């Protein structure tokens, strides 16, 4: 067995040399040339191995059988056994003869092939080693293209993974490891959770009629600011939350700057109830206040008119008095694809290391992304994880508290709405002047009641609303709008929208003129929107009074606004500050009743008592029946009366039932709605009817 195994490897090495000797002489090998020779070589190897293993196994088995026969001979005991053993030995001798003959033939044939000298063996080994190295090189060249492609894809994926890791590392710098594990990218659901006072402020400034309000609407994604092709449209400051990527900030819209304030760090020269300067000066004072409290400035210019002396003066004023605030130069009205870049060239005169002009278009949105990227890079660092955790804990504590009460201050022009806002806020938040129509935009201001710190309000100052016949209709139009909207119409539209999002409407009435038809229309509109109502008679200091003046005035006001006899009345003076804090008290009480909900048992007890005092009417020998009553919604309180036929109940009886509810339960300061629902012919209940007000989206 050992001789056969030893003689196998020399014959295989010689066969390997014979197979590959023609290829080594050429110096080049291909995969097509190698495959058939390799297959034949390994096939012969497998056959040799199989033959040698089979012959060795047969020799081993014969030796075992011979040994077994010998042991049987020694242990034999009788003639029968000896005869059986004799025949067995004959059979085994025949088998051994056959195996030995095949083995000798096998060895002889192998010796005839492998009789070579030791020198030739060494040369064959060297040639085989050379061929093995050349074969490996050729295989490497053949797979170079595929390997390069694999390496390319691998490097791309690795680079992307490395970039993501670097971004995660940069985002996690200065953050503890425990916080890094839980940190994730903020989504839209997380926006708006940071209080407004902690958000960085970005003010939009520039000279009049350069497109500041249009750019403000584009960056915030809203239509809060009025846009009109006329200089001096925006007057007051407007604050709206804006988002870009993971950044959140407060964007501030300002009026146009003409005459720059001499001392920008000083407070605007406006007292608590009105202004002592002319209107343009007050607009610039509001803009200067926005610049003073801003963290980043966006200086807007007009690319179509080019760089003007006013732009240079404003830019010089910003760099002189507010050098520590980053400024971004936005060249507006560059929507032209051919001349847009040329418009920006003139403004490179104002450029520096930290300021570079960016061509934008408020109409098409061109360049706004680059502008927001630049603004976000210059924003102060966001709150740390510890600050965010503390803010989240404070917000959790505030979640149990109710949201601020939305209070819209509505009335005719020049009745003192902005003066009341400034008096309640304690700051010159809105411009006040003797000119009618000073306020145009809706100004939101957060106020906390000093007497009750737990009461928070959001006061909404609105423009004065005149009668339709008195509204001026301008012939100018806005791009993209088919209808022609005048400036005053836009202001009134935003004032009416403020009623829709308000909980309480404070209707300001001029005490010197009394209630008018327009006041009645505005009060009716507030009830239609489902808002609580407070009547505020301003300028009470200008009325000649005696002991019975207030009572007689109240009776006269109730008679003119008899439909709204449930609304509370307050007499104030914004000039002297008399009783202005009672506006917040009355608004809070009205909002509480506005959200009041009754149990069905209490409500049915009141209705049953009312029906005993006055029975339901009857028509055509058919008497009205009220089965039961339930409250369906709040804001405003809405009640559903289930009866046999709503047509049997007249408007007089419905008003009687409303008075009984107000008298026995108490719904002062808020409208209530009564819906009457009857049976259908099939035995079910028909649709509800009744109610003198349109449905409101605030009902819940």
Q: What is the pLDDT of residue 666?
A: 87
- In the chain, the percentage of residues whose pLDDT exceeds 90 is 45
pLDDT band at 1 (very low <50, low <70, confident <90, very high): very low
CB 259 within 8 A of CB 281: yes
How many angstroms separate the Cα of 53 from the Cα of each of 67, 100, 351, 453, 608? Answer: 21, 15, 91, 101, 111
Q: Distance between CA 419 and CA 416 in Å, rounded?
A: 5
pLDDT (tens digit, 9 = 90+) per residue, 560-595? 999 999 999 999 999 999 999 999 999 999 999 999
CA 265/CA 289 separation, integer angstroms: 8
Burial class, 228, CB count within 10 angstroms (exposed 0-12 / middle 13-18 / buried 19+): buried
- Is residue 330 within 8 A of residue 299, CB to CB? The reply is yes
Please tell me if the domain spanning 201-379 has the same topology as the one spanning 402-593: yes
Q: Is 466 helix (H, G, I), strand (E, B) or coil?
A: coil
User: Domain ranges in the chain?
Assistant: 2-142, 201-379, 402-593, 600-689
The answer to whether 296 touches 375, Cβ cutoff 8 Å, is yes
Cα 584 to Cα 580: distance, rounded to the nearest angstrom: 8
Give the CA dihedral 280, 286, 291, 294, nearest 10 degrees. Answer: -160
Q: In whole numbers, what is the pLDDT of the chain averaged over residues?
A: 76
- What pLDDT does residue 483 have? 44
Phi first, then psi: what are they for 119, rounded to 5°? -65, -45
Distance CA 349, CA 337 (A): 22
CA 88 to chain centre: 97
Residue whose C-alpha is closest to residue 625's, from 641, 609, 603: 641
Residue of 176 and 672 predicted with greater confidence: 672
313-328: average pLDDT: 91
Q: What is the dihedral of CA 481, 486, 492, 495, to 10 degrees?
A: 50
How is domain 201-379 classified at the CATH fold level?
A: Rossmann fold (3.40.50)
* Structure token pair of residue 480: 């993209």
Q: How far is CA 700 from the centre of its chain?
A: 26
- What is the C-alpha separation between 169 and 451, in angstroms, rounded? 50
Query: CA dist 700 to 244, 247, 356, 637, 697, Å?
Result: 33, 34, 52, 9, 8
pLDDT of residue 109: 42
> What is the model's pLDDT at position 146?
53
User: What is residue 364's three-state secondary structure?
Assistant: coil
Write the pLDDT tens digit of every residue in 672-693: 999 999 876 544 555 556 655 4
Structure tokens at 75: 């242990």
Alpha-carbon gap, residue 536 to 544, rounded angstroms: 18
Phi and psi at residue 662, in whole multiples of 5°?
A: -70, -35
Rounded CA-CA distance 415/434 in Å is: 10
Burial of 486 (0-12, 13-18, 19+ CB in 10 A): middle
Report d(CA 77, CA 79) in Å as an integer: 7
Give me 562's structure tokens.
């008899």
Q: Say if residue 208's pLDDT is above 70.
A: yes
The pLDDT, as a whole number, for residue 192 is: 59
| The predicted structure's pLDDT at residue 679 | 76
Confidence tier at 391 by pLDDT (50, 70, 90): low
Distance CA(625)–CA(616), nearest Å, equals 7
Please state, as a whole number, how many other Cβ atoms lie within 10 Å of the Cβ of residue 560: 16
Q: DSSP string covering 538-562, please? A: E-GGGS---TTHHHHHHHHHHHHTG
Task: Band the pLDDT of 654: cuts 50, 70, 90.
Answer: very high
Tokens at residue 468, please? 């339709």
pLDDT of residue 232: 83
Query: Does position 23 have pLDDT exceeding 90, yes or no?
Result: no
Where do runs of H (alpha helix) occur along 237-354? 279-292, 309-321, 340-345
Q: Which stretches does DSSP call E strand in 28-125?
A: none
Cβ proximity of 438 and 470 under 8 Å: no
Contact (CB, 8 A) for 574 and 273: yes
Pick the residue with more confidence: 207 or 18? 207
CATH architecture of 402-593: 3-Layer(aba) Sandwich (3.40)
Rounded Cα gap, residues 203 and 252, in angstroms: 5
* 419-459 pLDDT tens trace: 999 999 998 888 888 878 889 999 999 999 999 988 999 99
The topology under which CATH files domain 600-689 is GMP Synthetase; Chain A, domain 3 (3.30.300)
Q: What is the DSSP string of 233-249?
A: ---S-EEEEEEETTEEE
Cα(296)–Cα(13) distance, integer angstroms: 83
| pLDDT attached to residue 82 | 44
Query: Model confidence at 27, in pLDDT bands (50, 70, 90)?
Result: very low
Q: What angle do CA 343, 345, 346 make, to 5 degrees?
A: 85
687 or 70, higher pLDDT:
687
pTM here is 0.67
More confident residue, 390 or 481: 390
Q: Whole-angstrom Cα distance, residue 42 to residue 35?
A: 11
The pLDDT score that the predictor gives to residue 128 is 60
Name the β-bridge partners of 642.
628, 677
Q: In the prediction, which pLDDT does 469 show?
A: 77
Taking the C-alpha atoms of residue 488 and residue 342, their distance in angstroms, rounded to an integer, is 37
């Amino acid at each position: 067995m050992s001789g056969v195994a030893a003689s196998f490897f020399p014959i295989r090495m010689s066969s390997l040399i014979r197979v590959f000797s023609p290829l080594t002489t050429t110096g080049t090998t291909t995969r097509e040339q190698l495959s058939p020779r390799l297959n034949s070589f390994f096939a012969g190897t497998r056959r040799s191995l199989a033959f040698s293993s089979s012959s060795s196994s047969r020799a081993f088995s014969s030796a075992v059988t011979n040994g077994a026969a010998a042991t049987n001979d020694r242990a034999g005991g009788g003639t029968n056994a000896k005869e059986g053993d004799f025949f067995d030995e004959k059979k085994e001798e025949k088998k051994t003869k056959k195996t030995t003959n095949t083995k000798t033939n096998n060895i002889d044939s192998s010796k005839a092939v492998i009789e070579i000298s030791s020198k030739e063996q060494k040369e064959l080994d060297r040639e085989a080693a050379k061929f093995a190295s050349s074969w490996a090189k050729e295989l490497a060249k053949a797979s170079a293209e595929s390997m390069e492609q694999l390496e390319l894809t691998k490097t791309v994926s690795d680079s992307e993974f490395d970039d993501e890791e670097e971004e995660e590392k940069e985002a996690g710098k200065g953050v503890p490891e425990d916080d890094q594990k839980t940190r994730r990218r903020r989504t839209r659901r997380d926006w708006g959770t940071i209080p407004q006072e902690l958000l960085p402020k970005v003010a939009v400034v520039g000279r009049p009629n350069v497109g500041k309000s249009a750019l403000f609407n584009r960056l915030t994604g809203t239509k809060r600011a009025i846009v009109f092709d006329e200089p001096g449209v925006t007057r007051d400051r407007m604050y709206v939350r804006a988002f870009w990527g993971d950044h959140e900030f407060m964007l501030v819209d300002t009026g146009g700057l003409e005459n720059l304030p001499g001392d920008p760090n000083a407070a605007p020269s406006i007292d608590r109830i009105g202004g002592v300067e002319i209107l343009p000066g007050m607009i610039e004072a509001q803009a200067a206040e926005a610049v003073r409290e801003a963290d980043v400035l966006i200086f807007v210019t007009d690319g179509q008119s080019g760089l003007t002396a006013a732009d240079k003066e404003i830019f010089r004023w910003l760099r002189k008095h507010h050098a520590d605030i980053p400024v971004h130069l936005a060249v507006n009205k560059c929507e032209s694809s051919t001349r847009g870049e040329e418009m920006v060239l003139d403004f490179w005169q104002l450029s520096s290391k930290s300021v570079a002009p960016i061509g934008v278009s408020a109409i098409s949105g061109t360049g706004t992304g680059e502008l927001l990227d630049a603004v976000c890079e210059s924003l102060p660092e966001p709150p740390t994880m510890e600050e965010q955790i503390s803010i989240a804990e404070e917000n959790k504590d505030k979640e149990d508290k109710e949201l601020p009460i939305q209070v819209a201050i509505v009335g005719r022009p020049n009745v003192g709405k902005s003066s009341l806002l400034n008096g309640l806020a304690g700051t010159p938040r809105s411009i006040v002047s003797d000119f009618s129509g000073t306020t145009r935009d809706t100004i939101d201001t957060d106020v906390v009641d000093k007497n009750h710190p737990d009461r928070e309000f959001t006061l909404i100052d609105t423009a004065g609303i005149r009668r339709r016949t008195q509204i001026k209709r301008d012939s100018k139009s806005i791009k993209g709008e088919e209808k022609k909207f005048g400036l005053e119409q836009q202001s009134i539209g935003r004032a009416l929208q403020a009623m829709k999002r308000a909980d309480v409407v404070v209707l300001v009435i001029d005490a010197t003129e009394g209630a008018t038809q327009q006041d009645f229309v505005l009060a009716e509109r507030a009830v239609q929107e489902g808002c609580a109502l407070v009547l505020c008679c301003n300028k009470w200091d200008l009325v000649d009074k005696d002991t019975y003046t207030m009572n007689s005035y109240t009776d006269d006001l109730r008679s003119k606004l008899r439909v709204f006899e449930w609304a509370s009345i307050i007499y104030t003076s914004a000039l002297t500050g008399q009783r202005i804090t009672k506006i917040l008290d009355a608004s809070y009480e009205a909002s509480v009743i506005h959200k009041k909900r009754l149990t069905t048992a209490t409500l049915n007890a009141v209705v049953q008592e009312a029906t005993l005092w006055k029975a339901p009417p009857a028509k055509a020998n058919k008497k009205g029946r009220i089965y039961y009553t339930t409250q369906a919604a709040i804001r405003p309180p809405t009640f559903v009366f289930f009866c046999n036929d709503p047509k049997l109940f007249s408007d007089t009886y419905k008003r009687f039932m409303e008075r009984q509810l107000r008298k026995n339960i108490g719904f002062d300061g808020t409208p209530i709605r009564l819906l009457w629902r009857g049976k259908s012919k099939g035995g079910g209940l028909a649709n509800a009817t009744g109610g003198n007000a349109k449905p409101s989206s605030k009902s819940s």
